[in-house]
Chains A and B, each alone.
Chain A
Amino acid sequence: MNTSDTTSTTALCVTHLSKSFPVKSKQGNKIIHAVRDISFSVTKGECVAFIGPNGAGKSTTIKMITAILYPTNGDISLLGMNPWTARKHLLPRIGVIFGQHSQLWFHLPAADSFRLIGKMYGLSNADIQKRQSYLARLFQIESFISRPVRQLSLGERMRCEIVASLIHQPEILFLDEPTIGLDITAKNIIRKTLKKLAQTEGMTILLTSHDTGDIEEICHRVILINKGRLILDTTLDILKQKYITEKVITAFYADGHKEERRISVNSSDLAQEIMRLTQSGHLSDMSISNPPLEEIIRSLYQRESL
């Protein structure tokens, strides 16, 4: 285990991590390389988005970091420990949320699961109750905390899942698609509350999501992987500055219609384009903005798939 580069401020250090799966097919045995030689580190308190298209290797990487899967090659240092040899000491200090897997008891109220999970981490009844009340208020789950989980909507259940993962106040939280399939209200509650908890409790967050809203609201740094390789590791601000290739000019007219133009950031036609738009009708408002993050990421995916 290489922990030489792991300082007290480093939460996670991944070095030359790889994972391969043998796959049997009619054509013979094949090796699928899900993750190929990935290296990165995360400082304590950082909120990092781990993004990439489907099958890029995001979930596999998180599962190796959280000791669910064995890596084929490479080293991981999580809070200065090897996840495989120091599981017992490490697991009480991390929290993991998989959008697809539930840790709540299906036929029982979520509050029962919270109490059991609290005991699993060795908390006293008083501490569990105090933490549960605090998180229930933040995530707005008080009204349905006593209802059986099978009767909850997806958004309600996911908020309960997140509370279950935060009962023991983890130092690092891994979120694998936490807002998948949720409506905008549930998404907003989750995003704002996670951001608040990261700030107030100094929690480190590593998030995978296809929803750029999650990324913009919670994270300040983005790691992009594709086909198992690390493609980009930068801050959200730099990503926007460096990879924005055009500006969006939107003109709103008095008769209610609007027109949108896209101008290359290197173009000298900006003034002319604005002039053209002002002459097209009775202008009531105009805005010049960056394209949404989703478009930037989509263009990065397309560039990488070529």
Chain B
Amino acid sequence: MAVKQLDFWFSLLKLAAKSAFALKTAFFGRIVFMCLNNLILLVGWWAVFQSFNHINGWAFSDFMFMSGLVIAALSLFTLFFRGAGIHLARLIEFGELDPYLIQPRNPLFHICCSVSDASGLGDLISGCLLMSFSGLITPGNLGVIILMFLAAALLFLSMSILFSSIPFYARDASDLSERLFFIFFNIAGYPGCIYSGLAKFILIFIFPAGVMSILPIEMIHTPSFGKIITILSISVGFFGLAIFSFYQGLKRYESSNHIRSKRS
């Protein structure tokens, strides 16, 4: 039974990737432009760090590592769970979850895995390069970095599900869901050293972009068991909250009779 489950999820991911690759120009275009986008971002922050050398104790290498972690974590989400973003929010808003609700698989993860975005490959390449060139990865901390990378990817998935569930509770809110996710990603992309006090607390426990932008660098420089447990707990906690939010919202779902096709 478990083998059949795995076979299905593997086939679903494969089909999502095949669907993304079906339009080849768009596929390669997205990868190239995402790499360029990340490069431009990096050059901008390089110029800032050239002027100040250090910002609140952070060197450019810290920023490179943090950016690499955030971008690579986003790539995991974009490549394998892109259905959780605006796609899910619009399915809810337009009352089009029906095909997923009548199939004998978990509807939430079926939707999440049914869309793959090729730009994730560009992010994955740039993210891994940035982390590698930061010089902060050592054989001793590689295990912890992988854990932080997976926790960050889980956090992107969780926040995306959480924001995408808003249309269950407020009509015409799919654009709001998308904007919130952009804000979350943008905040995660700023160096964590600029936050302190209440702002830092909010960005770790309430709007947890700081779990990617603040805690990993602290963990790299002053490793502690408590910090890694905090990172993992917050990610798992928000994942639980996202699933709860989706299934509570599903009870309010209103199916519609729009004529549309399942685009992916």
Q: Which residues of A contact B (CB under 8 A)?
A: 21, 59, 63, 66-70, 87-88, 91-92, 94, 96, 98-108, 112-113, 115-117, 119-122, 148-150
Enumerate B222-264 residues with CB–CB distance to A below 8 Å: 251, 253-255, 257-264
Q: Find out whether the CB atom of A119 lies under 8 angstroms from the CB atom of B18.
A: no
* Cα–Cα distance between A98 and B99 once the two chains are bound (Å): 8
Q: Find out whether the CB atom of B7 lies under 8 angstroms from the CB atom of A119.
A: yes
**B104 near A: Cβ within 8 Å?**
yes
Q: Find out whether the CB atom of A100 lies under 8 angstroms from the CB atom of B261.
A: no
Q: A112-B15, A116-B11, A120-B8 are in contact. Are A67 and B101 (CB under 8 A)?
A: yes
* Cα–Cα distance between A288 and B144 once the two chains are bound (Å): 86
Minimum CB distance partner of B114 in chain A: A105
| Smallest CB separation, A292 vs chain B (Å) | 26
Q: Which residues of B contact A117 (CB under 8 A)?
A: 103
| Smallest CB separation, B217 vs chain A (Å) | 40
Q: Which residues of B contact A68 (CB under 8 A)?
A: 97-98, 101-102, 253, 255
Minimum CB distance partner of B263 in chain A: A106
Q: Which residues of A contact B261 (CB under 8 A)?
A: 102, 104, 106, 149-150
Minimum CB distance partner of A69 in chain B: B255
**B38 near A: Cβ within 8 Å?**
no
Q: Find out whether the CB atom of A107 lies under 8 angstroms from the CB atom of B257.
A: no
Q: Find out whether the CB atom of A116 lies under 8 angstroms from the CB atom of B15.
A: yes
Q: Find out whether the CB atom of A102 lies under 8 angstroms from the CB atom of B8.
A: no
* Cα–Cα distance between A150 and B263 once the two chains are bound (Å): 9
**B105 near A: Cβ within 8 Å?**
yes
| Smallest CB separation, A32 vs chain B (Å) | 11
Q: Find out whether the CB atom of B264 lies under 8 angstroms from the CB atom of A107.
A: yes
Q: Find out whether the CB atom of A116 lies under 8 angstroms from the CB atom of B104.
A: no
Interface residues in B, total, Cβ within 8 A: 32
Q: List 10 A-B contacts (CB under 8 A).
A: A68-B98, A69-B253, A91-B104, A96-B102, A100-B259, A107-B22, A116-B15, A119-B8, A120-B8, A122-B1
1/0 per residue B1-22: CB within 8 Å of A? 1001001100110010011001
Q: Find out whether the CB atom of A120 lies under 8 angstroms from the CB atom of B99.
A: no
| Smallest CB separation, B251 vs chain A (Å) | 6
Partner of B102, one of A66, A105, A113: A66
Q: Which residues of B contact A112 (CB under 8 A)?
A: 15, 18
Q: Which residues of B contact A105 (CB under 8 A)?
A: 15, 19, 262, 264
Minimum CB distance partner of A93 in chain B: B104
Partner of B98, one of A87, A98, A148: A98
Q: Find out whether the CB atom of B12 lies under 8 angstroms from the CB atom of A116.
A: yes
Minimum CB distance partner of A96 in chain B: B102
Q: Find out whether the CB atom of B22 lies under 8 angstroms from the CB atom of A148.
A: yes
Partner of A107, one of B23, B96, B105, B254: B23
| Smallest CB separation, A78 vs chain B (Å) | 12
Q: Find out whether the CB atom of B15 lies under 8 angstroms from the CB atom of A121.
A: no
* Cα–Cα distance between A104 and B101 once the two chains are bound (Å): 15
Q: Which residues of B contact A108 (CB under 8 A)?
A: 15, 18-19, 22
Partner of B11, one of A66, A67, A87, A119: A119
Q: Which residues of B contact A107 (CB under 8 A)?
A: 19, 22-23, 263-264
Q: Find out whether the CB atom of A104 lies under 8 angstroms from the CB atom of B262.
A: yes
